[in-house]
């Protein structure tokens, strides 16, 4: 009896001290890797788009008038914790992107491993590092971060086309 009570207390303390690790979200992962496209869904599969939209809105909340949304609970993609979601844009492009709490090189490696391909177009300018790979017409996987060794967040995602 004492042993069972001790075990229960130990588990409760462990749970309070070490928060649960978020499991990867397969839908967000597919969207981030350009395997799915909300732009195509809105034209060809409106019910699929609506289902994704509803699930997204249950997981994230808009942040005031900012273009990003914040997770309501811990969520991750490719083992990386999501800090922010940009459901409609990636910089000046239309797409889907996430800010993850890892440095650029780690995010790039995780994206390349998931894609099974190296990101080919990389550059550093204007205090930013970027890499991308066109995986299909109007679908380009992108990784970008501040060009600073202390930077601990990276934007990852898929853009469909640049706004003109």
pLDDT tens digit sequence for 107-160: 999 999 999 999 989 999 999 999 999 998 889 999 999 998 888 999 999 998
Contact yes or no for 138/160 (Cβ under 8 A): yes
Tokens of residue 53, six digits: 């939209």
Residue 18 pLDDT > 70, yes or no?
A: no
Residues 47, 48, 52: CA angle, nearest 5 degrees: 115
Which pLDDT band, with edges at 50, 70 and 90, does 67 fall under?
A: confident
Residue 24 pLDDT > 50, yes or no?
A: yes
**Average of pLDDT values for 67-86?**
95
C-alpha dist (Å) from residue 145 to 48, 57, 103, 127? 31, 26, 8, 9
DSSP state of 67: S
pLDDT for 13 equals 37
pLDDT for 147 equals 92
Q: Would you list the DSSP string of 140-153?
A: EEEEEEES-TT---
Which pLDDT band, with edges at 50, 70 and 90, does 16 fall under?
A: very low
pLDDT for 91 equals 61
Computed over every residue of the chain, the mean pLDDT equals 85
CA 110 – CA 118 distance, rounded (Å):
10
Residue 2 pLDDT > 60, yes or no?
A: no
Chain-centroid distance of CA 76 in Å reads: 7
Look at 32 and 88; give whichever has higher pLDDT.
32
Say what the alpha-carbon torsion angle 147, 70, 88, 22 is, to the nearest 10 degrees: 80
Q: What is the percentage of the chain residues whose pLDDT exceeds 90?
A: 65
């Amino acid at each position: 009896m004492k042993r069972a009570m001790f075990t229960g207390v130990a588990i409760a303390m462990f749970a309070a001290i070490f928060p649960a690790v978020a499991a990867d979200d397969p839908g967000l992962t597919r969207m981030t890797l350009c395997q799915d496209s909300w732009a195509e869904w809105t034209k060809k599969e409106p019910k699929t788009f609506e289902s994704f939209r509803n699930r997204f809105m249950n997981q994230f909340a808009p942040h005031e008038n900012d273009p990003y949304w914040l997770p309501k609970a811990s969520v991750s993609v490719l083992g990386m914790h999501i800090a922010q979601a940009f459901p409609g844009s990636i910089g000046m492009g239309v797409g889907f992107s996430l800010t993850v709490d890892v440095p650029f090189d780690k995010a790039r490696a995780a994206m390349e491993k998931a894609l099974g391909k190296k990101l080919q177009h990389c550059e550093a300018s204007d205090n930013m590092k970027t890499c991308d790979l066109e995986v299909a017409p109007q679908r380009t996987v992108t990784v970008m971060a501040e060009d600073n060794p202390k930077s601990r967040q990276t934007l990852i995602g898929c853009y469909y086309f640049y706004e003109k």
